[in-house]
Amino acid sequence: MSLLSFVPAITTGAAPDTAPRILMIDNYDSFTWNLVHYLAEAGASVEIARNDALSVDEALARRPAGLLVSPGPCTPGQAGMIVPLIRAAAETGLPVLGVCLGHQAIAEAFGGRVIRAPRIVHGKTDMIAHDGSGVFAGLPSPLRATRYHSLCVDPDSLPDCLRVTATATDGTIMGLTHRSLPVEGVQFHPESIRSEHGHEMIASFLRRCSNSTEAA
C-alpha cells in the first residue's frame, strides 16, 4: 500500500467535498477494508494510512473529522504510532473509535493494560451486553457480535477516566469509552458479516464526527 489511499463516500447523500473525512489507521489487517467500506456506505470519505506511514503530527495535520484505528495482529505497543496518536487526538477533542487492537490501544493510551484473554477466540460469535451509550445507542442488548482476539483489556487496570460499556458472556470487556472525551473502543468486530448492527455502529460514530466538525 502507498503512504495514503483514499476512498470517497459512496452514498447518494452528501457530495464528496462535504462528506466527513475519516482517517483510518490500518494495522496491517484485512478487516480494515470492511471498515472502510462501512464508513463509505455511511457517507464518509476515508483516507487510509498504515500505522508506520505517518508520524503523529503528520496524521493530525491532515485535520480529519474523526480517527478510526483498525484491528491488527499484534499488541498495541508493536503497532507503530497508534498509542501516542490516540492520546494526541483525544487531547484535541477529535472523535476516536478503536476496533479490536484499536480498542486495546485506547486502554493503553490512558493507562490501562492489555493481557492474554481467558481463552483465544477467533471467528466465534457471542452475545454482547451493553449500556446503550456511544455506538450502542438505540441498539438492542444483548446483540450478537463476532470476536477475533487472543488479548483483552485487563479490567483491574482500567483507569478512572475510562468506563466499560459492553461485556461478553464470559465477562471480557467488549466496549469502553472515555468519560469526558469522544473516544471509545469495541473489542469485537462490527464489520464482520456475522455481527449484528455493525452498520448502525459505524454510522453512529460518523454522526459523532459530523457533529464535532459542525461544533468546531
Active-site residues, by number, are: 100, 189, 191
- Asked if 211 and 65 touch (Cβ cutoff 8 Å), the reply is no
- Asked if 28 and 53 touch (Cβ cutoff 8 Å), the reply is no
Cα 21 to chain centroid, rounded? 15
- HSE-CB for 5 with a 13 A CA cutoff: 13
- Cα 186 from Cα 124, distance rounded (Å): 15
- Cα 173 from Cα 98, distance rounded (Å): 13
Q: Which residue has the cell 467488549?
A: 174
- Cα 177 from Cα 196, distance rounded (Å): 20
